[in-house]
Amino acid sequence: MFLGLDCSTQSLSALIIDAREGSILSEVSVNFENDLPHYQTSSGFVHGDLPGEIFSDPLMWVEALDLLLTRLVESGADLSTIEAISGSGQQHATVYLNDRFNATLENLQSASCLKDQLAPCLSRPLSPIWMDSSTAQECEEIASAIGGNDELCRRTGSTATQRFSGAQIRRFSKLSPKAWQDTAHVHLNSSFLASLLAGKSVSIDYGDGAGMNLMNLKSGDWDEEIVNITAEGLADKLPALKPSSTIAGNISPYFVEKYQFNPEAKVALWSGDNPCSLVGMGAASPGKMVISLGTSYTLFAAMNQPVTDPSGFGHVFGNPCGGFMSLICFSEGALALEKLRSELDITWNEFSDAAMSQEQSPIRSLLDKQFLNMKARGEWMGQSPGTIYVTGGASKNQGICQTIANIFESNVQRMSTSSSAGLGASMRAAHATGDFSLDDLEKKFTVPDSESTIAPDPEAVKIYQNL
Q: Which helix (H) or strand (E) holds 249?
A: strand 247-250
Query: Does the protein bind ligand XUL through residue 117 (CB under 6 A)?
Result: no
Query: Does the protein bind ligand XUL through residue 324 (CB under 6 A)?
Result: no
Query: Which range binds ligand XUL by CB under 6 A, 20-28, 88-96, 112-120, 369-377?
Result: 88-96
- β-pair partners for 295: none
CB of 92 to ligand XUL, least distance (A): 6
Query: Does the protein bind ligand XUL through residue 165 (CB under 6 A)?
Result: no
Query: Does the protein bind ligand XUL through residue 130 (CB under 6 A)?
Result: yes
Residues 231-290 that bind ligand XUL (CB under 6 A): 272-274
**What is each CA distance from 30 to 71, 113, 437, in whole angstroms?**
9, 16, 31
Query: Does the protein bind ligand XUL through residue 326 (CB under 6 A)?
Result: no
Query: Does the protein bind ligand XUL through residue 330 (CB under 6 A)?
Result: no
Residue number with CB closer to ligand XUL (205 or 273): 273
CB of 170 to ligand XUL, least distance (A): 18
Query: Does the protein bind ligand XUL through residue 91 (CB under 6 A)?
Result: yes
Q: Which of 329, 334, 381, 425 binds ligand XUL (CB under 6 A)?
A: 329
Residue number with CB closer to ligand XUL (56 or 402): 56
Residue number with CB closer to ligand XUL (91 or 117): 91
* Contact yes or no for 7/189 (Cβ under 8 A): yes
Size of the site for ligand XUL (CB under 6 A): 14
Query: Does the protein bind ligand XUL through residue 223 (CB under 6 A)?
Result: no
Query: Which range binds ligand XUL by CB under 6 A, 89-97, 354-362, 438-446, 451-459?
Result: 89-97
Residues at the site binding ligand XUL, with contacts judged by CB under 6 A: 8-9, 90-92, 130, 163, 211, 272-274, 298, 327, 329
